[in-house]
Structure 1
Amino acid sequence: MTSEGTERERRWRLVLGAAADESCGRPTGADATMDGALAALYDGAAGDDGDDGGRRGAGLGASAPRVARWLGDIREYFPSTVVQVLQADAIERLNLTRLLLEPEMLAAVEPDVHLVGTLLSLNRVMPDRTKEIARQVVRRVVDELERRVAQQTRAAVAGALHRAARIERPRHADVDWDRTIRANLRHYQPGLRTVIPERLVGYGRRTSALRREVILCVDQSGSMAASVVYSGVFAAVLASMRSLRTSLVVFDTAVVDLTERLSDPVEVLFGTQLGGGTDINRAVAYCQGLVTRPRDSILVLVSDLYEGGVRAELLRRVAALVEAGVQVVVLLALSDEGAPAYDHDNAAALAALGVPAFACTPDAFPELMAAAIERRDLRTFAERLAQG
């Protein structure tokens, strides 16, 4: 068999597990350790009588030392992206959430957005000796996310604010000649071989004055964990821009305003309470009270739209906001996972009011905010996003 064929057989053996021993052979060396780590997660636990039905030491049980060894093995033999998937599967399949309350376990895991979401859901029951390590884990993830999104977000938003400040009677130094020529092409004079502009387009002078009000209203039900993490980071980045007044509101059946914590996104995240019910109407009512300049305001509702409150009143409130001139957009998810489960009836009802509802990846969020600031048609943006 060629080396390529041998490698393919080796990979299939790791995928299929012990059932493929006869056809692919038993793994040895590092492959045996990798196979054991995968079997512990995906082959199920051995029976209480010690008979494992032919499976080799499958299952992690609730043994902290065994989980710690397993975490060490997967970090040694698999790339970090795979480690994160294995950890998430272990938490879901083997109910290892309780062990994350142990400082030793928490220090051993590979931090990522989903782990942060799990830790936030445990925040209220986490012992004091674990909370400091949990904060360190969350800060590592938040710092990495900020490095990933901050520069792009500030550049996109600042550019949009500047473009939105174009004026129709600019001073000579402020004329945007490219846009002016394009706006006046119908006035081209063939005899003079030039365009005679009837309307000048220019930029307003740069200013640090408040230009837009941005309100992020975020559903903190359990299914929205990743969206809560990203929303908190983006809110902190937007709050650092002097031309914006940024508010962050999170909700389940209660509403909490976290705006005063936006200087530290870790504090923002620990101010959330993942899980519980959902009252979108109540949250939108609170956000409605924050709007002071409707035509300069953007309300971003991050929710899967499963409403536990009064649906008819919610739709009336959204309609009133749109009528007043508020730019309203619904993000069914703000995460890397793609299209989420959501309430299609509520999404359709909002679309009928002119409010688009779609999932958005973190990488696309800066462009979304730029489009909202410039009051572009967000339905076109959503369609383009859906097409990839």
Structure 2
Amino acid sequence: MREWSEELTALFGPGIREEVLAAAVAHGRGDALEAIDPGAVRPSVDLLRTVLEHAGGLPEARLAALRPLVRRLVDELSRELATRLRPALTGISVPRPSRRPGGGLDLHRTIRANLATARPAAPSTGSGTATGTGTEPGRMVIVPERPVFRTRAKQASDWRMILVVDVSGSMESSTVWAALTASILAGVPSLSTHFVAFSTEVVDLTERVTDPLGLLLEVRIGGGTHIAAGLKYARELVTVPSRTLIAVVSDFEEGGPVGGLLAQTRALVDSGCHLLGCAALDDTGTARYSKAIASQLVAAGMPVAALSPLELARWVGEKVR
């Protein structure tokens, strides 16, 4: 592998070398991983997913050698995703305007709210000497009859976001996107973001949500699908249902009784939680999920759609504002 990578560099340059090595990894050549230069490789979700697949079965000594590559891929992909998501989340944590005194005066909104009071300023009756007591010709004055104040920011998070993520087999790409998206949502001050992974078991990885690298290395892909168990655990995290968002990322191929899944869904909806089902996406971005079960979830009160991370962020922004 070392000789092969050196020949690739000599013949085609380092850029092509990294592309070929990445393709070799994707086709099962795990030994090519350690030959990839983290600083030169082109980040992609496919490469990150492949690296994580191989990393899962490696001893800690070899895994440590791969961490710089995984960190580079995660950092670059998170930066690119955050650039796309930030406009959808802008304004969520900004204090809302209020007519009640208490916070600072919101000058911009006060001016807009009082434009009807604008009138020419009355000329000064001063002496008009060089001290400049007169009013400039054409100057307008706005009388703030309706001042607008900024509300004081709350110390506690206003909303709770619970991502319930299916990590059963064939969910690799969706899991990567979910982890990256969760880390970005965790940076929004008005959201308390939780990450709950489930297959046949449920694992709460919320303590890793601000560290996408640690989160992805902690997730173990495989096993069956028990969405009802994931939702049941999410119910235990709910304190204020009307200010709780729950997004389920899954192919909705429920392995347990569908009746149990529908019962958990109805209980959350009836309590006042805001639910959204995010269909799994394959490598080409095409939605891949059980339409039969999804239609039953929709009837139970959970909308289901094939959403990109940007569309999920928009949904969060619309609910929280």
Specify the TM-score bucket, using the shorter chain as the normaliser: 0.7 to 0.9
Q: Which has the higher contact order (CA 8 A, sep 6+)?
A: 2
1:247 positional shift: 0.6
Residue of structure 2 in register with 1:205 after alignment: 151
1:335 positional shift: 7.8
Residue of structure 2 in register with 1:373 after alignment: 320
Which of the numbers 27, 32, 47 marks the counterpart of 1:115? Answer: 47
Distance across 2 between alignment mates of 1:257 and 1:299: 14
SS in 2 for 1:295: helix
Task: Check whether the contact 1:217–1:283 (CA below 8 A) recurs between aligned residues.
Answer: yes
What does 1:1-388 correspond to in 2, within 5 Å? 64=1, 68=5, 83=19, 87=22, 90=24, 94-96=27-29, 98-100=30-32, 103-104=34-35, 110-150=42-82, 153-160=85-92, 162=94, 165=96, 170=100, 205-209=151-155, 210-333=157-280, 337-374=284-321
In structure 2, what residue type is equivalent to 1:124? Answer: G
In structure 1, what residue type is equivalent to 2:48? Answer: V
1:331/1:179 Cα in 2 relative to 1: closer, same or farther (>3 Å)?
Answer: farther
Task: Check whether the contact 1:336–1:362 (CA below 8 A) recurs between aligned residues.
Answer: no
In structure 2, what residue type is equivalent to 1:301? Answer: V
In structure 2, what residue type is equivalent to 1:354? Answer: G
Task: Check whether the contact 2:43–2:76 (CA below 8 A) recurs between aligned residues.
Answer: no
Residue of structure 1 in register with 2:131 after alignment: none
Distance across 1 between alignment mates of 2:317 and 2:161: 12
In structure 2, what residue type is equivalent to 1:286? Answer: Y
Identical-pair percentage:
33
Q: What TM-score, normalized by structure 2, do the two folds share?
A: 0.74
1:229 positional shift: 1.5
1:323/1:204 Cα in 2 relative to 1: closer, same or farther (>3 Å)?
Answer: farther
1:288 positional shift: 1.0
Q: What TM-score, normalized by structure 1, do the two folds share?
A: 0.62
1:123/1:91 Cα in 2 relative to 1: closer, same or farther (>3 Å)?
Answer: closer
1:123 positional shift: 3.3
1:179/1:356 Cα in 2 relative to 1: closer, same or farther (>3 Å)?
Answer: farther
Distance across 2 between alignment mates of 1:65 and 1:177: 67
SS in 1 for 2:235: helix
Provide, for residues 287-309 of structure 1, a one-character-per-residue CA deviation record: whole Å limited to 9, x for no partner: 11111110000001111111112
SS in 1 for 2:163: strand
Of residues 118-127 and 149-158 in structure 1, the stretch that sits farther from structure 2 once superposed is 149-158
Higher helix share: 1
Q: Which runs of 5+ in 2 are unaligned?
A: 115-145
RMSD over equivalenced CA pairs, Å: 3.6
1:237 positional shift: 2.1
In structure 1, what residue type is equivalent to 2:35? Answer: E
